[in-house]
Structure 1
Amino acid sequence: MPLPLPDVPRKLLHTRSVRVDAYARDDDQWDLDAELIDVKGYDFPRENGTIHKMGDPVHHMHLRVTVDNDFTITAAQAAYDAAPFDENCFCIASAYQDLVGLNLLRRFRDAVKGRFGRVAGCTHLTELSYLLPTVAVQCMAGRKREERARGGEQSDKKPFELDGCHALRVDGPVAAKHYPQWYAAPQGKARQE
């Protein structure tokens, strides 16, 4: 269900579009290709004397990471199509190769902030990287399910997605239905559904 229409007239000022595509590679690794585009809803003057036209990207950047089956980044690259300060922005792209070695499921966002926070990185590329863990989980979910089914046995290890969000809490109805082995009846005051 979409948001309701606003009850006060308004004017569009800014649009940010973010997209992440996930690919299974022939070498049993995964590519996550992320893209961020910012556009303004109005024309504005640039410092070089030109006019930046409404709808033309102010920011347009790409980030690709390759991950193995353990969610560890094995390759990374960044690229720019547009940025407000041109080469002053573009020159940081190669720094994002330092994502290599980080694991998307082990304090990834903290590690990224530590490596690329403030002047050590690009605010927008760093923000774009924060989406990668949940996209990786989505892209690998089918394969992980197939591996569990092929094994034919129930693991003694709780699936990592449990207790990762409200719907997948171990004391909720989704766990009771789909993960009965891990379901734990609510203790004390019942949660509202």
Structure 2
Amino acid sequence: MPLSTPTARTLSHTRRVTCHGYKRADGLWDIEAHMIDTKTHDLELYEHENGILPAGEALHEMSIRITVDLDLNILDAEAVMDNHPLRICPSIAERYKLLKGLQIAPGFTRKTKELFGGTSGCTHLLELLGPLATTAFQSTHKEREAAMEESTGSAPPPVLNGCHALAEYSPAVKEHWPQYYNPQPGEKNN
């Protein structure tokens, strides 16, 4: 279902975030996130040629690549800034190598905010880490699930309790994974 019909309006800004997950020949995974911000009007930028960024040109164009294993351990990381409003912006990109050694697991967002929040990072690169983590999860999901089943014989789906629709007491879990269905207290388990 689409959004409701909006009031008359004029486009001012577009942010495009694109993420890709690639299985590598060595069995690891490269996960890439790319962001581009553009304006529909010229923008005064003191450090741009002639002090003006023309409409449609990228104000921000930034990318992050991480390499992960099936446990979602980050084995390598790099960030680049192709377009940015200030000359100093790219000097922080090297800091994103600190992602190496982290695991995409509960607490990942909190840890990345500690590492890259405020003056310790770039707001835009930090914002890319959420979709990057989700893409890592989605890209490796099938192989992670197969590996868990192989090692344990049967394992709860990794998405169990990941959102309201996949709560252990939800109708979806009851229908698709009845062996992991756990009714809420006071509810009968039929």
Paired amino acid for 1:173: P
Supply the distance in 1 between the matched residues of 2:68 and 2:151 (Cα, whole angstroms): 23
TM-score under structure 1 length normalisation: 0.88
Q: Is residue 79 from structure 1 mapped to residue 80 from structure 2 by the alignment?
A: yes
Aligned match of 1:16? 15
Structure whose residues are more often helix by fraction: 2
Bigger drift between 100-109 and 139-148 goes to 139-148
Supply the distance in 2 between the matched residues of 1:128 and 1:72 (Cα, whole angstroms): 18
Residues 151/116 of structure 1: CA separation in 2 closer, same or farther (3 Å cut): closer
Aligned match of 2:36? 37
Aligned residue for 1:91, secondary structure, equals helix
Aligned match of 1:105? 105
Mapping 1:126-137, distance limit 5 Å: 126-137=126-137
Supply the distance in 2 between the matched residues of 1:16 and 1:150 (Cα, whole angstroms): 41
Q: Which digits, 9 at most, give the CA deviation of each residue in 1:2-32, with x for residues without a partner?
A: 21221x2111111111111000011111110
Bigger drift between 49-58 and 112-121 goes to 49-58
Aligned residue for 1:131, secondary structure, equals helix
Supply the distance in 1 between the matched residues of 2:133 and 2:43 (Cα, whole angstroms): 36
Ranked by relative contact order (alpha carbons within 8 Å, sequence separation 6 or more), the top structure is 2
Aligned match of 2:140? 140
Contact 1:172 1:186 in 2 (8 A): no
RMSD: 1.8
Supply the distance in 2 between the matched residues of 1:102 and 1:179 (Cα, whole angstroms): 31
Aligned match of 1:66? 67
Aligned residue for 2:179, secondary structure, equals coil
Paired amino acid for 1:37: I
Aligned match of 1:161? 159
Deviation at 1:126, TM superposition (A): 0.7
Paired amino acid for 1:40: K
Contact 1:23 1:30 in 2 (8 A): yes
Supply the distance in 2 between the matched residues of 1:103 and 1:147 (Cα, whole angstroms): 18
Match of 2:175 among 167, 174, 177: 177
Deviation at 1:142, TM superposition (A): 1.4
TM-score under structure 2 length normalisation: 0.90
Aligned residue for 1:134, secondary structure, equals helix
Supply the distance in 2 between the matched residues of 1:159 and 1:184 (Cα, whole angstroms): 14
Aligned residue for 1:145, secondary structure, equals helix
Contact 1:64 1:78 in 2 (8 A): yes
Supply the distance in 1 between the matched residues of 2:147 and 2:102 (Cα, whole angstroms): 24
Supply the distance in 1 between the matched residues of 2:103 and 2:92 (Cα, whole angstroms): 22
Structure 1: runs of 5+ lacking an equivalent: none
Paired amino acid for 2:116: F
Aligned residue for 1:147, secondary structure, equals helix
